[in-house]
């Protein structure tokens, strides 16, 4: 039996002008809140995908990218990536840390209004 291929981890996002927003939204009055993250950026070509992945510690995340394959036109294209906790958190964090190719960013968690 031959060697098994090593899984390739997607690279951290190299998008231009990345901005982050984080929100905690309680869907029921006085209830626990769902944490949501949003990232926006642009690339010089279409075909990228950006997405969040949990980091090594709670409330730490990475913004990753998949790169296009093949010949792509030179056309500035804008992207949005999002993530949600999926279930309400009794104590949502006040800040999250998001790492991309430009470093680690501390993002304040705003209340959804």
Domain residue spans in the chain? 16-111
Task: Express as a percent the part of the chain with pLDDT over 90.
Answer: 77
Between 82 and 2, the more confident residue is 82
Cβ contact 9:94 at 8 Å: no
19 phi, psi to nearest 5 deg? -130, 145
Checking if the pLDDT of 5 tops 60, the result is yes
Cα distances from 70 to residues 41, 46, 50, 65, 108, in angstroms, run: 22, 11, 18, 16, 38
pLDDT in tens, 66-80: 999 888 899 999 999
Cβ contact 59:94 at 8 Å: no
């Amino acid at each position: 039996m031959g060697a098994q291929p090593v899984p390739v981890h997607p690279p951290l996002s190299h998008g231009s002008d990345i901005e982050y927003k984080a929100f905690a939204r309680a869907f029921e009055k006085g209830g626990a809140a769902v944490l949501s993250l949003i990232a926006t950026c642009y690339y010089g070509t279409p075909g990228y995908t950006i997405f969040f992945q949990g980091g090594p510690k709670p409330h730490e995340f990475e913004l990753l990218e998949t790169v296009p394959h093949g010949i792509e036109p030179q056309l500035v294209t804008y992207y949005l990536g999002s993530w949600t906790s999926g279930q309400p958190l009794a104590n949502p964090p006040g800040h999250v840390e998001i790492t991309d190719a430009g470093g680690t960013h501390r993002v304040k968690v705003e209340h959804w209004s």
